[in-house]
Amino acid sequence: MMEKPFATTLDPQSSLENHTGSWRTLRPVNVFKLPPCNKQCPAGENIQQWLYYAGEGDYEQAWRVLTEDNPFPACMGRVCYHTCEGKCNRGFLDETVGINSVERFLGDYALEHNLAFKKPVRETGKKVLIVGAGPAGLSAAYHLRRFGHTVHVVEQAKEGGGMMRYGIPVYRLPRNILDAEIKRLTDMGITIEYEHRVEDVMKEKEDGKYDAVILGIGAGISQNVNIPEGDTNHVLNALKVLGDIATNGDIEIGRRVAVYGGGNTAVDVARSLRRLGAEPIIVYRRNRDKMPANEEEMDGAIEEGIQVKWLSTISQASKDGLKIEKMALDENGKPQPTGEFEDMPADAVVLAIGQNVELDILKKIEGLQTEWDAVTVDKDDMMTSVNGIFAAGDMVPGDRTVTAAIGMGKHAARGVNAFLKGTKYIRREKHPDARFEDMHPYYYTDAPKTVRPQIELARRTQTFDEVQHGLTEENAIFEARRCLSCGNCMECDNCYGVCPDNAVIKLGPGKGYEFNYDYCKGCGVCAQECPCGHIDMVPEKI
């Protein structure tokens, strides 16, 4: 939701109590509305506000507004699937705003200029243990530290980042970027203990005298599927393949590799193996329209020469190859076997059909409620069924994406902070939606979306260098200024200029406008001429 300095408003209720006569039936009122990008963002970023600052060239302020909700803008500017852009109202005009591009620019700007998070002004004396240094755990640690709590993170891997490090290929997220954003957290005073596997959560809590615990265990176990096979070394799981490549830079797997699955992990595996000289083929049992993988990532895979066998499933694997059964979609879009088979040569199969969370460490937590492979939590504060134990990320119901995990970590931290103060965190009610039909876009000129450059295709499959580059400063400002400021004042002066009664009062830069109802006759011109849909005409009290 938008906050000052973009708009202010008189209280509509108090304004209506000052009725000025029967000659006016409607009066203008400034309203705050929730932009669709803000509403869609799983991390809960105030996108519209930081785009404003970026468009003004105040990059540090833009970065600080952004990191109020998300401590990893340089990482998210690379790996987030930016569903916010799919909801952007600008798409009804020409093309959606490149929100993710600007986010990456701000993240890189902060790293280049050594911007640091501010340390808490006071220490609360409360201690919180976080299990897991993935995006959920690190996000929670960041927000808890801002509250002034002492935060200790334990992680069983050798380095932090979780799936950002061991599941996302280097060509999408260079590790120096991830390391720099994690270091910014430890510079705040957050401690991270690596190669520490927790066997008993409650014992860790008691031994360390922690006041609360947040569980941020990622989905690090690959799902299996029953494929009859003659060679047990022939079938590998996707996370192990990606982890080996991330750790060692290579893997012995053979030249002809079938990647079984249709999600983002399958695409990441195929594109990584392509860079190692293999000839991967994605085998997926549905068609392209039903594929859950991100469309841009899939387009990149096809550009790089990766083939896909649509409507196909692996029925058998042996050292000589695979037996593929053709599938057909029924009236509900579900794949059904056809009984038609074909042989496909393959040296190996990589299973990329989903991931589960390892919940063994939770068995010793008495009274903890789980459902399938997820932990049951309160929808507001993310507390589990055990008092003082919270959870976030892949291990709770919801989308299993990095951005969603960051958002859950934030809410879990707020839940813990309230718990430590003896209260309960309740998420704030959101403003009404800013709809495109309530805006007046004829004031905006056509401005095509800025496309981020990529390394040339010929080099792309020969190296793990980052595929996508960032925007220049000029392009970042241009892209930020494409924002329509949906539902919130951007101080364009339209209402001030068109009012025939001089009833609109300018409050000064960053403060918006008020209405002088002694002069206003309720003609509604201000509302009609507001491009953002920030002014509503409401009935007078009778």
Q: Is the Cα dihedral 521, 523, 529, 531 positive or negative?
A: positive
CA angle, corner 154, sides to 153 and 160, nearest 5?
80
Query: φ and ψ at 274, to 5 degrees?
Result: -60, -40
* Cα 509 versus chain centre, distance: 32
The confidence score (pLDDT) of residue 22 equals: 54
Spatial distance between the Cα atoms of 345 and 280, rounded to a whole number of angstroms: 11
Query: φ and ψ at 528, to 5 degrees?
Result: -70, -30
Residue with token string 């997926």:
284
Report CA-CA distances (Å) from 283 to 76, 288, 328: 29, 11, 14
Assign domain 226-237+246-353 one CATH number from 3.50.50.60, 3.90.1150.10, 3.40.50.720, 3.30.460.10.
3.50.50.60
Q: With beta carbons less than 8 A apart as the criterion, state whether 537 and 524 touch.
A: yes
Give the pairing type, strands 312-318 and 321-329.
antiparallel
Q: At the topology level of CATH, where does 12-32+488-539 sit?
A: Alpha-Beta Plaits (3.30.70)
Spatial distance between the Cα atoms of 506 and 255, rounded to a whole number of angstroms: 69
Domain 36-115+439-480 CATH assignment equals 1.10.1060.10? yes
The helix or strand, by DSSP H or E, that contains position 408, with its residue range, turns out to be: helix 402-420
Spatial distance between the Cα atoms of 456 and 328, rounded to a whole number of angstroms: 37
Q: With beta carbons less than 8 A apart as the criterion, state whether 237 and 224 touch.
A: yes
Give the pairing type, strands 321-329 and 212-215.
unpaired
CA angle, corner 534, sides to 528 and 538, nearest 5?
70
> CATH 3.30.70.20 in the chain, residues?
12-32+488-539
> Which residues lie across from 513 on neighbouring strands?
506
Report CA-CA distances (Å) from 454 to 267, 345, 470: 18, 33, 9
The confidence score (pLDDT) of residue 219 equals: 85
What is the DSSP code (8-state) at residue 386? S
Edge-to-edge strands, sheet with 307-309? 235-237, 348-351, 256-260, 279-283, 307-309
* Cα 406 versus chain centre, distance: 7
> CATH 1.10.1060.10 in the chain, residues?
36-115+439-480
Q: With beta carbons less than 8 A apart as the criterion, state whether 474 and 54 touch.
A: no
pLDDT by residue, tens only, the chain of 542 residues: 344 333 333 344 434 444 444 578 899 999 999 999 999 999 999 999 999 999 999 999 999 999 999 999 999 999 999 999 999 999 999 999 999 999 999 999 999 999 999 999 999 999 999 999 999 999 999 999 999 999 999 999 999 999 999 999 999 999 999 999 999 999 999 999 999 999 999 999 999 999 999 999 988 887 877 777 665 558 899 999 999 999 988 898 889 999 999 999 999 999 999 999 999 999 999 999 999 999 999 999 999 999 999 999 999 888 778 999 999 999 988 999 999 999 999 999 999 988 888 888 888 999 999 987 799 999 999 999 999 999 999 999 999 999 999 999 999 999 999 999 999 999 999 999 999 998 987 777 788 899 899 999 889 988 999 999 999 999 999 999 999 999 999 999 999 999 999 999 999 988 999 999 999 999 999 999 999 999 999 998 76
Buried b (16+ CB within 10 A) or exposed e, 416-441: bbbbbeeeebeeeeebebbebebbee
Query: φ and ψ at 260, to 5 degrees?
Result: -100, 110
The CATH code that applies to domain 127-220+357-420 is 3.50.50.60
> CATH 3.50.50.60 in the chain, residues?
127-220+357-420, 226-237+246-353
The confidence score (pLDDT) of residue 178 equals: 98
The confidence score (pLDDT) of residue 17 equals: 43
The confidence score (pLDDT) of residue 288 equals: 93
**Token pair recorded at residue 410:** 């934030």
Residue type, 454: Q
Q: With beta carbons less than 8 A apart as the criterion, state whether 306 and 274 touch.
A: yes
Beta strands in 389-510 (DSSP E): 389-391, 504-506
